[in-house]
Amino acid sequence: MQLSIIKIGGNIIDDEARLSAFLDSFAGIPGKKILVHGGGKLATKVAEGLGIKQELVDGRRITDAETLKVVTMVYAGTINKGIVAQLQARGCAAMGLTGADGNAILSHKRVHPSIDYGYVGDVDMVNTSLLTSLLLLDKTLVFAPITHDGKGMLLNTNADTIAQELARALSTGFEVSLIYSFEKSGVLLDAEDESTVIPRINAADYADLKARQVIFAGMIPKLDNAFAALRQGVARVIIGQAEQLPLLLAGKSGTTIQNE
Amino acid sequence: MQLSIIKIGGNIIDDEARLSAFLDSFAGIPGKKILVHGGGKLATKVAEGLGIKQELVDGRRITDAETLKVVTMVYAGTINKGIVAQLQARGCAAMGLTGADGNAILSHKRVHPSIDYGYVGDVDMVNTSLLTSLLLLDKTLVFAPITHDGKGMLLNTNADTIAQELARALSTGFEVSLIYSFEKSGVLLDAEDESTVIPRINAADYADLKARQVIFAGMIPKLDNAFAALRQGVARVIIGQAEQLPLLLAGKSGTTIQNE
């Protein structure tokens, strides 16, 4: 059975018109599907409004106890329930989840030798049994980027990581397409030229592009992650613009990364 | 199959120690269960922090668009996910829901001849099929007092009403005990004396107490609601202190209202 797992970032969530266009296209794609959303600027705005200072270390936001409260409010409350209600209005049987709900995603507080990231979770386990049951009930799952440690603590968790962990875990029972929304039209040969999208890449193509140094450096971590997902059983990874979801899934837009 | 539906109010949510004691007792009760939580003072605090003025008409809070955003954040985000994570830590397979999730509870924006309550929902439909499926997956459902209108709008909805509507709807498939947490030990003959709890009341007892005017006026709306629930198929309504949940369910504390 096919399953599409789509990750959208803050750039779409912050833009009402783009979010609406995305939700139209998301509601319209057939079959089992999961949406994973990131945060966006609202959390920063709410934190500022409440006088909570954002601490940054090496350019990374630290999730202290107060920030955790804000991201839980905004991600699991405002954004998640807003998206769920809007999908319901589009006839899509959406159900919002954090990793705490039904113990969907268990994580642990990040351990790092020198930086204390605060209440940030690294994923340990995806509850495939629960998620499969919900998908078989024809529910479309909408994940906020919040997990829990099983000991009562919620943890802020990277949405890209959640999407990838869900894709990996659910590949045991589904043929998973993992779609990352991206500000560009796909993987580009020339970062400045949107017409240079590479429609398909397999591992041999990628090795060749890297050897010839014709792929720009910024894409390499994304592609490395994509090939890691393929090695973990994900059928294909697609990178492209979120509003073009049906075209992305049909391989007519964006870049499809797969083994063949 | 037995199902316990328990409503807790803001007085418990606002008190960390009481909430923790309640969650211990809730996690400990056997069988299928649903928790419905109210709001508490955090929403007011967050609204004040964000500079959102609370409008009151005839002593009732009006849910304007900004207040709806705050209650969605606080009820569906902070409170709901905090309770879910704490229940998971107690070995209880909790899953948080609003009425929008899986279209669990559909409502419409309240229509009132003279007062505009704002974004307040009156319940139209409970999705018993979804909720039964989730209960049969052994999930403990935790409802935030937020519903939706199916057209993309979230609506602030009274937690007592949600508990009663869930109890009524799920009585078609379950033997439902509906428990309202209360600041007193139960229904009292003398409002000032906690030792005058009436352990059991049926409709005949109630008619008699009312005729003799020995029941204090403040209890009458609660009891009227309880008997309405019984007429709608609910097996029993229990009123008492939330921390005494196992004793309440065993009929050893609080007041049990039932037909026999």
Do the beta carbons of residue A256 and residue A199 sit within 8 Å? yes
Say if residue A110 is in the same domain as residue A199. Answer: no
CA of B93: how far to CAs of A80, A201, B11, B45, in Å? 21, 42, 24, 30
Q: A102: nearest CA in chain B? A: B95
Q: At B42, which CATH number?
A: 3.40.1160.10
Rounded distance between C-alpha atoms, residue A132 and residue A129, angstroms: 5
Identify the residue whose tokens are 């009929």.
B251
On chain A, the residues whose CB falls within 8 A of the CB of B93 are 102-103
User: Cβ–Cβ contacts within 10 Å for residue A67, how many?
Assistant: 21
Identify the residue whose tokens are 């996910």.
B81
The 10s digit of each residue's pLDDT in B194-224 is 888 999 999 999 999 889 888 877 788 889 9
Say if residue A114 is in the same domain as residue A209. Answer: no
The 10s digit of each residue's pLDDT in A203-234 is 999 999 889 888 877 788 889 999 999 999 99
B177 to chain A, minimum CA–CA distance in Å? Answer: 23
B232 to chain A, minimum CA–CA distance in Å? Answer: 28
Do the beta carbons of residue A249 and residue A177 sit within 8 Å? yes
Say if residue B142 is in the same domain as residue B14. Answer: yes
Decide if B96 and A100 are in contact by the 8 Å CB cutoff. Answer: yes
Decide if A88 and B51 are in contact by the 8 Å CB cutoff. Answer: no
Rounded distance between C-alpha atoms, residue B6 and residue A150, angstroms: 23
| % pLDDT > 70, chain B | 100
Q: Which two tokens stand for residue A21?
A: 């266009």
Residue-number span of the structural domain to which A142 is assigned? 2-181
Boundary of a domain, candidates A161, A181, A201:
A181
Q: Confirm whether B172 is domain-assigned.
A: no
Regarding pTM above 0.80, the answer is yes
Q: Which amino acid is at A72?
A: T
Say if residue A114 is in the same domain as residue A60. Answer: yes
Q: Which amino acid is at B184?
A: K
Decide if B101 and A89 are in contact by the 8 Å CB cutoff. Answer: no
On chain A, the residues whose CB falls within 8 A of the CB of B89 are 150-152
Per-residue pLDDT of chain A (260 residues; tens, 9 = 90+): 999 999 998 889 999 999 999 999 999 999 999 999 988 899 999 999 999 988 877 777 789 999 999 999 999 999 999 999 999 999 999 999 999 999 999 999 999 888 888 999 999 999 999 999 999 999 999 999 999 999 999 999 999 999 999 999 999 999 999 999 888 889 888 888 888 899 999 999 999 988 988 887 778 888 999 999 999 999 999 999 988 899 999 999 999 999 87
Say if residue A82 is in the same domain as residue A15. Answer: yes
Boundary of a domain, candidates B165, B198, B228:
B165
B103 to chain A, minimum CA–CA distance in Å? Answer: 7
Say if residue B206 is in the same domain as residue B152. Answer: no
Q: Confirm whether B173 is domain-assigned.
A: no
Decide if A81 and B76 are in contact by the 8 Å CB cutoff. Answer: yes
Say if residue A100 is in the same domain as residue A48. Answer: yes
Domains: count for chain A: 2
